Amino acid sequence: MNILGIETSCDETSAAVLLDGKVGSNVISSQLCHTGFGGVVPELASREHERMIVSIVERAVTEANITKNELDCIAATAGPGLIGAVMVGLCFAEGMAFALGIPFVPVNHIEAHMFSAFIPESPDHQTPEGPFMALTVSGGHTLLSLVQEDLSYEVIGRTLDDAAGEAFDKTGKMLGLAYPAGPVIDRLAASGDPGFHDFPKALTSQSQTSRNYRNNFDFSFSGLKTSVLTWLRKHPPEFIEARLPDIAASIQHAIVSVLVEKTISAAQHYRVKAVSVAGGVSANSALRSAMQDACLRHGMELYIPGTVYSTDNAAMIASLAALMHAKGAAAKNRYDVAPFASFGARRP
């Protein structure tokens, strides 16, 4: 079964081919046209996807060493994402599947992150076997989901305000860092002291204000944002400049400790023995090592995709289509799927 996956929900144009359960190619083109705007400009994103989509799909098919006539099915992100951006990949994929006379599979981008542990990264790739606790942390979403063996899932916690990626990006912007600030904070923090300043960790055991944090698996990062802003206003620019790595490390520590504490206590509460972490923020080196340590301490298995599969990529789209196909939940031979903007709003 050869599956072409297409992903265009935000600022990466990506196409990947899964060849009989192996990643044959995973081409990702990151848009540079947003530099200087402090975020993704939706109109520019759509236009850039339109400009790149044909060449990226051609490269993915060529790098997989097949021709498009050897494809059995095409999958694309139908949402959530920037509607114009999603539509470029979705319409292209539906049109291509229609022209080739093969099934089209619409994929939910956040579910594709959530099930990234199943991307067949290597021939001996290990996947979770029983139920597991999935932490999905991207630029727009932060979710804890209890995933059952049959891959049905229940969202047991989500952010009440900002997503974890947004917390990195917005506090980074306050520090004058380029968008997306997550990877920049990660790099700066490597030489900083995480104990330099104690930024708030809302809805956790370390929070001053929340008494009722137990069995509450929701997140909140807007207080951290305010606290960073207040702290920055109280300190002179030269001091901030000189202590940038320490500030970055302290912000990162606040975000990472919340993510780790919530995930582990949710896994304990639901008595599961495995944890998965996915989405752009799962590329964060401090999160990877803190979650690894915590899982080791609690006798839990940890599944985190390689960093190329953490941030937006089409291999996760093709991989989820393969899982859906294996469950008999995929191909409907429909080429008229509507895009959707929010997670859970409208399913394909």
Q: What is the binding site for ligand KG4 (CB under 6 A)? A: 10, 138-140, 165, 168-169, 180-183, 186, 279-281, 283-284, 311-312
Q: Applying CB under 5 A, which part among 38-46, 91-99, 137-145, 168-176 lies near Zn ion?
A: 137-145
Least distance between Zn ion and beta carbon 136 (Å): 9
168 binds, among Zn ion, ligand KG4, none (CB under 5 to 8 A by kind): ligand KG4
Integer Cα distance of 185 and 214 in angstroms: 30
Least distance between Zn ion and beta carbon 109 (Å): 6
Question: x/- site string to Zn ion, residues 193 to 232, per CB under 5 A?
Answer: ----------------------------------------
162 binds, among ligand KG4, Zn ion, none (CB under 5 to 8 A by kind): none
Least distance between ligand KG4 and beta carbon 137 (Å): 7
Nearer to ligand KG4, 97 or 144 (CB): 144
Ranges of H-type helices in 80-235: 83-100, 109-114, 164-174, 181-189, 222-233
Nearer to ligand KG4, 11 or 50 (CB): 11
Which helix (H) or strand (E) covers residue 308, if one does? Answer: helix 307-310
Q: Applying CB under 5 A, which part among 15-23, 48-56, 135-143, 179-187 lies near Zn ion?
A: 135-143
Nearer to ligand KG4, 97 or 275 (CB): 275
Residue 8 φ/ψ, nearest 5 degrees: -145, 35
Six-digit token string for 2: 């050869």
Strand pairing report for 132-137 and 274-278: parallel
Strand ranges in the chain using DSSP code E only, listed in sequence order: 2-7, 12-19, 22-30, 73-79, 104-108, 132-137, 142-147, 153-158, 274-278, 301-303
274 binds, among Zn ion, ligand KG4, none (CB under 5 to 8 A by kind): none
Nearer to ligand KG4, 204 or 284 (CB): 284
In the three-class reduction of DSSP (H, G, I as helix; E, B as strand; rest coil), residue 262 is classed as helix
Nearer to ligand KG4, 261 or 312 (CB): 312
Nearer to ligand KG4, 213 or 343 (CB): 343
Integer Cα distance of 230 and 76 in angstroms: 42
Nearest to 328 by CA among 103, 176, 43: 103
Integer Cα distance of 67 and 128 in angstroms: 33
Q: Which of 312, 318, 340, 343 binds Zn ion (CB under 5 A)?
A: 312
Integer Cα distance of 258 and 166 in angstroms: 15
Integer Cα distance of 127 and 200 in angstroms: 35
Residue nearest to ligand KG4 (CB): 280
Q: Which of 138, 171, 250, 282 binds Zn ion (CB under 5 A)?
A: 138
Q: Applying CB under 5 A, which part among 43-51, 83-91, 177-185, 310-318 lies near Zn ion?
A: 310-318
Give yes or no for a contact between 138 and 281, defined as CB atoms under 8 angstroms apart.
yes
Residues at the site binding Zn ion, with contacts judged by CB under 5 A: 138, 312
